[in-house]
Amino acid sequence: MTNYDNRFATSDQYSLRGRVFRKIREDILSGKYKEHEELKEVAIGEELGVSRTPVREAFRQLELEGLIQIIPNKGAYVTGITAKDVKDIYMIRSLLEGLCARMATDKITKEQLEEMEENIYLAQFHADKGHMDQMAELDNRFHDILYEACDSKMLEHLLKDFHQYVLRVRQKTLSNNSRGRASNNEHRQIMEAIKAKDAAKAEELANRHMINAYDNMVKNGLYEIYGDELNEEDNNKWKELK
């Protein structure tokens, strides 16, 4: 969550540490490692066939990404994410996606705009067919285009981090077909505001888009899907045990 500056996208793609880092992150986001689960250095090292050193370094990065919490001399634990965290993130994202849309209105390239249109057009098709996986994919891509179009590495990276962070919860969120349709319509409106160079409108719409996404999430039972793990009280109770 904290890496503001990935300008130099060198990102140790091929080092052991980098691979371990991405593997663990993947496993957390995919749910293989559940909340509050303890990650042991040797176990993961053996599983991946590496020593503790790269694992430890990956842990340090994961901690700053907010995915695990390291308690000195004790262990590394997958962080819980409370309902309040999710709400806070969506409030923050609402503002920042708005800013992003506003900035993108000036900076977007013809190519990016065309990809947006294509994206929306395709999403319409998949919405009609009820293809939920593709919808999720296109939704991700739409926002990524927007992030890139704002021409601010700072903002782009920040939003991508948030997006990633909240993926754990969001997974099943778009699976409601009517929301998928509505979401795509909002995308279209945002795109058209940008196309019309109406920055204020684009900002306002992107703003709303996030709030709507959050409201839908709550309405569709954010709590039920993830149960107690998103219940703050239970979370605190767990903390006291440690």
Query: Does an H or E element contain 160, and which?
Result: helix 153-170
Choose which of 55, 76, 146, 158 interacts with its own copies (CB under 8 A).
158
* Residue (3 or 109) nearer to DNA, CB: 3
53 binds DNA (CB under 7 A): yes
9 binds its own copies (CB under 8 A): yes
Taking the C-alpha atoms of residue 136 and residue 180, their distance in angstroms, rounded to an integer, is 8
Choose which of 75, 185, 192, 234 interacts with DNA (CB under 7 A).
75
Beta carbons within 10 angstroms of residue 138's beta carbon = 26
Its sign, for the CA torsion 163, 168, 174, 179, is negative
The full length of the chain comes to 242
User: How many residues of this chain interact with DNA, rule: CB under 7 A?
Assistant: 23
66 binds its own copies (CB under 8 A): yes
Residue type, 228: D
Which partner in DNA, its own copies, none is near 158 (CB below 5 to 8 A by kind)? its own copies
Choose which of 165, 189, 216, 222 interacts with its own copies (CB under 8 A).
165
Q: What's the count of helices (H) and strands (E) in the chain, helices before strands? A: 11, 3
Minimal CA–CA distance to 100: which of 167, 185, 190? 190
Q: Is the CB of residue 68 less than 8 Å from the CB of residue 167?
A: no
Chain positions contacting DNA, by CB under 7 A: 12, 15-17, 38-42, 49-54, 56-57, 70, 72-76
Chain positions contacting its own copies, by CB under 8 A: 1-5, 7-10, 12, 14-15, 17-18, 56-57, 60-61, 63-66, 69-72, 79-80, 84-85, 88-89, 91-92, 95-96, 98-99, 152-155, 157-158, 161-162, 165, 236, 239, 242
